[in-house]
Amino acid sequence: MQNLNIRDKIYDFIETLPKPVSIKAYGSSIAYQSGYTKKDKKQVDLIVIVDDIKKFYEENLKVNKYMYKLTPRIYFKFASLKGLKKHASICYTTHINYGDNIYKMGVIEKEDVIDDLLNWKTFYIAGRFQKEMFTAISDPEIEKANEINKKNALTVALLLLDKDNPTINDLYEKLCSLSYMGDNRKTFKAEDPNKIKKLAEGSKDFFDREYKNKTDLFKEMPDETIKINYPKVYAAMKNLPRNLYDEIQFSIDVKMTEEEMLNSIRKSISGYLTRIIRQSSHGQTRKGILTTGPQNSISYALEKLKKGRKKEKINNV
């Protein structure tokens, strides 16, 4: 944790919200990313998990009206439940100024969180929960579902490693990269091009604890390369989300060599994740105009684009 005091600030902020089921914080304010300095002001990203998303906004509009510009104020007041749950089932509000921090708050119902963690319907929540987070308020059902999500992420990452003699760092970078496959932030260079590497390096203790120390699917060797136990990995594929597993099964047959089969599996996984992430990412971008307001939506996009281009320029020097 780069800034321990941020936890207290998060607790202060969530005390002002209608009672949630669970709250998790993520991003560079929580998980240390190499290459940043203490002078880099970071947004605090929160996922607020509730039982009833419409009720949450009805209550929060009363007690925290300052969070919303005119457009989202109107949208959240009159939007249907179906509208609120479109595009990955989560609604984001950005540029929330509270204390000396800026918050970005995504609100989603518990049932949709568990659905994505177990079934990778959109990967919007699943991908984020596979990386380091700070759990401000915990829910046992969500944590149980996330353990399954992380096990499946490890299986997929090991299958996607196509380097000879991959290292433990290669594996951690692959785990970090899963949620960026098909993400329009990468397409439009609105992210630091080295963000995945920085995430992996900065969260090594987390990945050691949550992945390396909880599995027998691979073994780390003295030179930091890893030896993958492919028979066990192939067996673990049966636990993957049903839609993904079905696509993998459809793509392979008994006539294939082991190399052909592995290449086909990799192609199926990459295609599946890219497709669902691109769909949810594009949908969230459009939805953000309503949930954050046109001005905040454009400002947020420009900030991300400027940050991504700046990091790219620095890295190319």
pLDDT in tens, 12-35: 999 999 999 999 999 888 876 655
Mean pLDDT of the chain: 89
Least confident of 84-98, 148-162, 286-300: 286-300
Residue pLDDT, tens place only, 74-117: 999 999 999 999 889 999 999 999 998 999 999 999 999 999 99
What's residue 196's pLDDT?
93
Kind of pairing between the strands at 134-137 and 22-26? antiparallel
Q: Note the pTM of the prediction, 2 decimals.
A: 0.89
Residue pLDDT, tens place only, 195-235: 899 999 999 999 999 999 999 999 999 999 999 999 999 99
> Does 316 score more than 50 pLDDT?
no
Q: In which band, very low, low, confident or very high, does the pLDDT at 302 lie, cut at 50, 70 and 90?
A: low
Helix axes 53-63, 70-78, angle to 10 degrees: 140
> Does 285 score more than 50 pLDDT?
yes
> Does 267 score more than 70 pLDDT?
yes
What's residue 195's pLDDT?
87
What's residue 194's pLDDT?
86
Give mean pLDDT, residues 271-278.
96
What's residue 121's pLDDT?
95
Structure-model confidence comparison of residues 286 and 159, the more confident one: 159
